[in-house]
């Protein structure tokens, strides 16, 4: 089986490629980087996918800076919408299945309970809107799969954990939002979950996150606890912490469907965080 992974040197894409190489050596992996294609060149992107003739395309490449998407709508549209459209077209022409990595930010956060796969999407920021469009294009392809996850962190690229530790180095008090709740999710665990979904020929929409929920404030406190950092962390509201893009206050995703497929949940987010920081 030939697998194409876009964004192969990105944060999650690089971890996914590593996971495939370690756990599925029988798969023929083609990792595509920005040197192989440009998502802002739709024709070129489609042609690259088509020429490889893959069985599955896993599209991880994206503009993931949520505030950046809000302030530069044009670039976000070119990369996250038109780029995803080009990848989907390449998969279609190659007769390949497509796996699209989406986000909890396709929801508005107004629901009191965790979101299930069939809940109505209603993004409240531009990044979430681009991911919603990507989902729609992916689901038009027969046998394809949308993976929604949340609050990703891992070895490569920037993330909340790295940001908190860098801020702590300044020794000044840190303010962190306490009214947005979700599930921090570790790259290697998500990669393993996606491989299980592919092995089970899963189609449609699937939520995969580490188990348990917390606020960004809780997340920060746990980071410093594990690292033994003595720093004052003050909880604030979303309204107090101004940012260009609004965030949903409830980002919790119900992973019941994944549990049925895999037979067990991903590890608790605290265990995942400790594994990451220990590494």
> What's the pLDDT tens digit per position in 59-77?
999 999 999 999 999 999 9
56 lies in some domain:
yes
164 lies in some domain:
no
pLDDT for res 208: 98
58 lies in some domain:
yes
Residues marked active site are found at 127
260 lies in some domain:
yes
43 lies in some domain:
yes
**Number of folded domains in the chain?**
1
Place of tokens 């702590």: 168
Q: How far apart are CA 8 and CA 13, in angstroms?
A: 5
- Secondary structure (3-state) at 49: helix
Examine the pLDDT at 222 and tell me if it is beyond 90.
yes
> What's the pLDDT tens digit per position in 109-155?
999 999 999 999 999 999 999 999 999 999 999 999 999 999 999 99
pLDDT for res 209: 98
108 lies in some domain:
yes
236 lies in some domain:
no
Reported confidence tier of residue 242, pLDDT bands at 50, 70, 90? confident
pLDDT for res 279: 87
pTM (2 decimals)?
Answer: 0.96
196 lies in some domain:
yes
Q: What is the residue range of 259's domain? A: 2-158+184-211+252-268
Report the CATH number at residue 16: 3.40.50.720
> What's the pLDDT tens digit per position in 245-277?
999 999 999 999 999 999 999 999 999 999 999
Token reading at 47: 């042609």
Token reading at 145: 């799969």
> What's the pLDDT tens digit per position in 17-56?
999 999 999 999 999 999 999 999 999 999 999 999 999 9
Mean pLDDT value across the chain: 97
Residues 85-99: what's their mean pLDDT? 97
Q: How far apart are CA 96 and CA 79, in angstroms?
A: 21
What single string gives the DSSP state of each residue in 89-151?
HHHHHHT-EEEEEEEGGGS-S--SSPBPTTSPP--SSHHHHHHHHHHHHHHTSTT-EEEEE-S
């Amino acid at each position: 089986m030939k697998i194409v992974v876009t964004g192969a040197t990105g944060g999650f894409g690089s971890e996914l490629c590593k996971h495939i190489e370690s756990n599925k050596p029988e798969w023929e992996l083609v990792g595509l980087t920005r040197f192989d294609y440009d998502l802002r060149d739709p024709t070129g992107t489609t042609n690259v996918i088509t020429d490889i003739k893959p069985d599955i395309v896993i599209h991880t490449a994206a503009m993931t800076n949520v505030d950046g998407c809000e302030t530069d709508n044009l670039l976000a549209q070119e990369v996250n919408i038109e780029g995803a459209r080009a990848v989907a077209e390449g998969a279609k022409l190659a007769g390949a299945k497509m796996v699209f990595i989406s986000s909890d930010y396709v929801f508005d956060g107004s629901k009191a309970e965790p979101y299930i796969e069939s809940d109505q999407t209603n993004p409240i920021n531009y990044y979430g809107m681009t991911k919603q469009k990507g989902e729609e294009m992916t689901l038009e392809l027969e046998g394809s799969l949308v993976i929604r996850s949340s609050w990703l962190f891992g070895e490569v690229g920037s993330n909340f954990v790295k940001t908190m530790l860098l801020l702590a180095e300044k020794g000044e008090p840190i303010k962190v939002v306490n009214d947005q709740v979700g599930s921090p999710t570790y790259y290697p665990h998500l990669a393993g979950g996606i491989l299980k979904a592919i092995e089970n020929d899963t189609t449609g929409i699937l939520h995969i996150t580490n188990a348990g929920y917390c606020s960004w404030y809780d997340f920060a406190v746990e980071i410093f606890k594990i690292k033994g950092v003595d720093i004052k962390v003050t909880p604030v509201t979303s309204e107090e912490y101004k940012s260009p893009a609004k965030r949903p206050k409830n980002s919790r995703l119900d992973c019941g469907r994944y549990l049925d497929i895999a037979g067990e949940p991903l590890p608790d987010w605290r265990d995942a965080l400790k594994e990451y920081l220990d590494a």
